[in-house]
Chains A and B, each alone.
Chain A
Amino acid sequence: MIRFNRAMFYAAFVCAGAVSLDVPQAYGDETCNSPYVTKLIKGQEDYVYVWALGVEGLGDGSDKMVTVDVNPRSKNYGKAIQRVSVGSRGEAHHMGFTDDRRFLWAGGLENSRIHVFDIATDPGRPRLVNTITNLAEKTGYVGPHTYYALPGRMLVQALSNTRDKGGVTGMALYNNKGDFITSYAMPVDNGGDGYGYDLAVNPRKNMLLTSSFTGYNNYMRSLGEVVKDPEAMKRFGNTMLLWDLKAMKPQKVFSVPGAPLEIRWSLKPGDNWAVAATALTSKIWLVKQDAKGEWQAKDVATIGDPTKIPLPVDISITRDGRGLWVNTFMDGKTRYFDLSNPEAPKQTYEKQTGKQVNMISQSWDGKRVYITSSLLANWDKGGADNEQFLRGFTWNGKELKQVFEVDFTAEKLGRAHHMKLGSKALRTAYTRPETSRQLALNR
């Protein structure tokens, strides 16, 4: 249960000023957040939170939340200023803010633990305040992947299940305090394959889009083995689904071959379309209404040379919906697509940004781009190709210029995976101490 630090709450009220300034605006954010999530950052972000996979023998070997100072005016610019170890290694992967952006939920694909960090009390020093461990027990699903904020609650997309560790899975709904509410199965009828990966909501259309990846048996196995195993290669998702968000009922199944992963709705007001990239077939897909108003998904662009399986992983859409960054893991390239016509995206730029690259996030103004290196512990490259980093770039519309790097191996931080942006200005008026009730319940 959330508990206020009363002294801080009182102090906050006491500090209420006598002069009323303008009320704060709706701030944009790194554009992969839910578009209606509140208190977003339009100006200079102060921090990048990096959720890092623990590596045996490196530091304490645990998964950890790493806070990197990314404000160029700071004396600590480009440095890891804090690390919070969760005391276990469970294939740290993705994370997501609660709707009020006070807490950051970060999960493990192997141990199915969901760690909740307070980032509002002191945005520069996230604190682990809760660990939710009942996903498998409550739902039969494992591998929590995407955390998508709904008012007062968090929708969690899992990747796999306890029964056979395959790709048939579902979603779990928790309230913001970490109490389980209900679950929703990914459909296996009417063309559905039951697989899951990402979630993305368009509230104006009451729509939820989902995509599909693969199960525990594949994502916990070495990539080299999976690729050589024809049966394993059959066990990837080939669908995207349109849901009635309010009713949480599937409305339409789209055939999208080759593991459609990250989904991004255009954030431009009035736009009602989304894009996704397929990992195995190296395509950009557009989900949009046709002339009759029927929702359709279609392949609109090719990323690199699909015969070489560049493995598109993360994408990041600009705030005006006119550009899309695409990272391809195998060739370590970052590509920019002109989305002015979403029906026909055109690649206009590419640069090798690492020997392996996975996640990509951009600031709201698009001038800063952040890239990390790790995909999955057993899918990352070996030897000298196994670079582990957070790299910061500036983007002037023509060229990505690297401005800093945090070497996650040298600093014994682990494998750098998902990122979220933080700001000193998002300090809350009260705090939440370590929560014992949930810990007790979940254990």
Chain B
Amino acid sequence: MIVRRDTTIARLLTLFVVMLVSRIACGHQQDDYHAVLDFTPPAPGTYQLHRIMPAPEGSVLDADGNARKLSHFLRSKITLLGFIYTTCTDPEGCPLAYRVFDGLKKEIQATPALHDRVRFVTLSFDPARDSPEVMKQYAGSRIKEDRGLRWYFLTTRSVRDLLPLVEGFGQDIRYSVDKSTGRPVRELSHVLKVFLIDRSGSIREIYTSTFLHSQVVMNDIKTLLMEQGAKLP
């Protein structure tokens, strides 16, 4: 469909007005299988993480409101990136991702060999509600640099800026479904996905809630570091 410029602008204006007073549901589509680790994952460096696809480029805002290219946050270190809404409460969505991110953060901070080699990026799906100020407040103490791990909380200026990022990562967004009728309702939802990105900006692993285990992610991070020749304990 070709969207005329004037039509697009009108839609964007409408969008922002409505989103100011609306609520976007954080409806992560859960997997039937919960994230219970019932196996010993293969040891770091004993397997290969293939290049799934390049991470997309786009414009983002950091928590201080500075405009940046997303690639600024995806290069020269290993990056773990996840999409969120600050209004999210689904236990299998953002909270699950936070549990994993927080666990990994502690382990990285406790391992000097991993310092300054990994970063976390949390990127909002909801530019109308999640301003840089909101993201900074949402991040709390997580945003402070300490012991070798930076955690960036990013948002976008507009849906127009968000769109190529969502598109490029292959992140779905759907209408939610009213459980009683099975019909779509006026809310959005998405599948939780976390992306592991290497130093050159290639996506090397994608985790949905079923596959999001901190031990597995840590082994994957170490596998990428070992690929670069790192000697790890």
Contacts and interface: CB of A to CB of B under 8 A. Distances in A.
Interface in B47-69: 47, 50-53
B184 A181 contact: no
Interface stretch (A139-147, A228-236, A352-360, A428-436): A428-436
Contacts of B21: 18
B231 interface: no
A418 to B, nearest CB: 22
Given A24-B27, A246-B42, A38 B1 contact: no
Contact of A151 (B39, B41, B184, B208): B208
Contacts of B185: 17, 21
Interface bin, chain B: 35 or more
A6 B27 contact: no
B222 interface: no
Contacts of A433: 1
B35 to A, nearest CB: 9
A264 interface: no
Given A3-B167, A23-B27, A120-B174, A181 B51 contact: yes
A247 B47 contact: yes
Interface stretch (A108-116, A170-178, A339-347, A375-383): A170-178
A151 B207 contact: yes
Interface stretch (A159-167, A185-193, A419-427): A419-427
Given A99-B208, A246-B41, A203 B33 contact: yes
B47 A246 contact: yes
A12 B18 CA distance: 11
B210 A203 contact: yes
A5 B31 CA distance: 27
B140 interface: no
Nearest to A101: B172
Interface in A113-160: 120, 151-153
Given A16-B187, A17-B186, A21-B185, A151 B22 contact: no
Interface string B105-127: 00000000000000000000000
B216 interface: yes
Contact of A36 (B178, B208, B216): B208
Interface stretch (B7-15, B73-81, B131-139, B141-149): B7-15
Contacts of B51: 181
B187 A20 contact: yes
Contacts of B100: none
Contacts of B203: 152
Interface stretch (A39-47, A51-59, A86-94, A396-404): A39-47
A148 B232 CA distance: 34
Nearest to A4: B167
A28 interface: yes
B38 A12 contact: no
A25 B33 contact: no
Interface of B: 1, 3, 7-8, 11-12, 14-15, 18-19, 21-33, 36, 38-39, 41-42, 46-47, 50-53, 90, 128, 159, 163, 166-167, 170, 172-179, 182-189, 191, 193, 203, 206-208, 210-211, 216
20 contacts: A14-B11, A16-B22, A21-B187, A23-B90, A24-B29, A26-B30, A38-B29, A39-B191, A151-B193, A152-B53, A177-B53, A181-B50, A203-B33, A246-B41, A246-B216, A272-B38, A423-B182, A425-B183, A427-B175, A428-B174
Q: What 9 A-B pairs come out closest when comparing CB atoms? A: A17-B186, A152-B206, A247-B47, A23-B27, A100-B172, A38-B29, A26-B30, A151-B206, A36-B31
